[in-house]
Homo-oligomer: A and B are copies of this chain.
């Protein structure tokens, strides 16, 4: 894995791509943007540009000032943090997701680092334009509030998961969530390398490995990235999933946008995508 540090937004913009109309349509379809007026949306996308990044690119380091809202269109992005030579992963984003919205809204420094896990297409929208749009377009501002509220609730779930559960329980719930995410079948493939998963679950790679080994007592077998759950009941008794911590949604039921993932399901169509964790 090669790690590339992006020097800054100026440097990025040099080889930025113009937004294709299909990309614009995907963004416009996001709950965050669908309520925006045409004028607001034009203003937002006018200063925006699309950029492709290879795997392992650091987009943003914690403490950096944030000038853009990022929208992940394809690939995946890790949000992490570090202190005193320790590191941890706070979230792994899947398309279509926005990130560092809170820092943009407050025009504040980033509290998390962002790094591509795979080759990714990322849309960058002017933070200044976003704040202007919020002040001028109440419908858009409302959508931003809902997105932020969804992000907040997502991380509250994460704190509860971390503080109330042990490592085995976190892994068990993660597996149940992934199983649902992949359609509910007995077998599925882990979406990330195990050391990244370990960091996301707040444990060391060694302990994740041992936890997987112990999982055989609950009917879980692992072969490379392939996980098979033979006795769902046993795993569920271990995991004790709780709708106030875990936000399970089956494939096809996964709306994009944090607000939509948090809100009670409504009538109307959903979009593909969804955030891991």
Interface residues of A (CB under 8 A from B): 62-63, 81-84, 86-88, 90, 101-103, 105-109, 111-112, 131, 134-139, 141-142, 144-146, 148-153, 155-160, 162-165, 202, 240, 242-245, 259, 262-264
Contact = CB atoms under 8 A, between A and B. Distances in A.
A157 B240 contact: no
A159 B90 contact: yes
Secondary structure call for the A interface: helix
A11 B28 CA distance: 44
A149 B82 CA distance: 21
B159 A148 contact: no
Contacts of A105: 145-146, 149
Contacts of A138: 134-138, 141
Copies of this protein chain in the complex: 2
Contact of A145 (B108, B134, B156): B134
Contacts of A262: 106, 108
A146 to B, nearest CB: 6
Nearest to A151: B152
A16 to B, nearest CB: 26
Nearest to A111: B156
A108 B244 contact: no
Given A141-B134, A262-B108, A155 B148 contact: no
B244 A164 contact: no
13 contacts: A81-B163, A83-B245, A90-B156, A103-B149, A109-B244, A111-B156, A112-B156, A134-B141, A134-B142, A141-B141, A148-B152, A158-B159, A159-B159
A155 B243 CA distance: 20
Nearest to A264: B108
Contacts of A81: 156, 159-160, 163-164, 244
A196 B138 CA distance: 41
Contacts of A148: 102, 145, 148-149, 152
